[in-house]
Amino acid sequence: MFDSISVGGRSAPSAVVVGRFKDKPAHASSKAYDPDGSVAEACQRPESSGEYLNLTHAFPKGSARSKTKAPPRVIVAGLGTQDKLTAGCFRDLGAALAKVASSIKATSLSIDLSGPIKDCKLDEGACASALAEGFGLMGWSYNKLRGTATTTSKFGKISLTSPSKAFETGLSRGLGLAESANMARDLSQTPPNIATPAWMASEAQKMARKAGLKCTVYKGAQLDSMGLTGCKTVGAASENAPCMIRLEYTPKNAGKKAKPVVLVGKTMTYDSGGLSIKVGGGMKGMKRDKDGGCAVFGAMHAIAAVVKPRQRVVALLMCAENSISDEAYRPDDVIEFANGVTVEVTNTDAEGRLVLADGLVHACRKEDASSIIDLATLTGGVVIALGSAFAGMWCDDDKLRGQIEDAAGASGERVWRLPHDEQYREMMKSPIADIVNSAPVR
């Protein structure tokens, strides 16, 4: 939607955004942009209500021709009822404003919402960050592979400004977070003939150099010596060899013995199902079976470029392609992992847990982690259980669970805790190995 989105600048805004609560007039701060009463008059129109995300446009008469400081357009943003407004609400507002800004071909948008935010006693920076995040996410599009047979619209540049310095600081943070998320989305959309494990490694190395992260790629005989048998086994059938990408963020003030948080991402660059081949339309879209690793990639960029925590963070992207050839692993194979656990393969389309197991074992044995979090498109069963409103979460630590739930709520990407009980181990037992990779019954 936009080639670039920036914060700040001195150019005259294409429009100013002000706020309004439900069934109330435009906030008092809007008077500075309403010399002739056009904004107040627009709020009296029947389609203008102040409902959450209701947007009303006003055009101060003569402002474009006279010497008044009123902008050519004022957008009155509905904020809903005052008691229900939260910082997270501004994320959807940002997305709505991005659509409008694109449709009116705005080059600069001035946002003056400090008054309503203060009335609700909300954190101005957090609200601005959420708004810019929504704006940046909505402003993203993937057009890298359009060829000469497609006519695409030219995208423009836009700057976001605010009379409030605190708000502009929040806008910068939010755009930074959106940029990191959009990196993950770009990777996710890249097709498998391009996004091989080696390509993912190359992208990680380029990002790491720019963001100041340490990046190490393990492949070939290194996987054997490290005992990463899950990746090696699952990726054996493909000419695109598997690898493990390790990214490390270490803040300047971190001690040498500081234990890192470790993020592990399932990065299946394509999943045909292997010999347990996907049928019907089940294979279409499996380029996105790498999305767990893409999310970890984006998170590491955000950590290094925007958040900059005092905590060491290590990321492990377990990359492989689940393909079919005479080298493919089979149902009935038994795999032994680095910690000695043996797994009987009952379904080659349950491959994600095998590559993740490598990352989890490595994190436990080699990284001395304070906590380990894995992200994965692991099973369609979670979508059946929870739909698209929540991601499924298993966690055996109440403190960490609470932290994840708080972060998920703040980011607008909610999670729901699923049961993690010893009773399920009985369903995982194998008659010849320690466990199976896929239970025969649900």
Helices (H) and strands (E) in the chain, counts: 13, 16
* Cβ-Cβ contacts under 8 Å for 276 (sequence gap 6 or more): 331, 347, 348, 349, 350
Residue with tokens 């009773």: 423
Spatial separation of the C-alpha atoms in residues 278 and 241, rounded to whole Å: 21
The span from the CA of 191 to the CA of 205, in Å, is: 19
**Backbone CA torsion sign across 336, 337, 341, 346:** negative
Strand boundaries in 117-192, DSSP class E: 156-161
Report the C-alpha gap between 35 and 37 in whole angstroms.
Answer: 6
* Rounded CA separation 319/377 (Å): 13
Question: What is the spatial distance between Cα 270 and Cα 266, in angstroms, rounded to a whole number?
Answer: 11
Sign of CA dihedral 233, 237, 238, 239: positive
Of 311, 313, 316, 301, the C-alpha closest to 255 is 311
Task: Determine which one of 24, 278, 288, 401 is catalytic.
Answer: 278
Q: Which residues pair with 4 in a beta bridge?
A: 157
Active-site choice (73, 173, 312, 353)? 353
Task: Mark whether 353 is an active-site residue.
Answer: yes
185 is catalytic: no
Q: Which residues are catalytic?
A: 278, 353
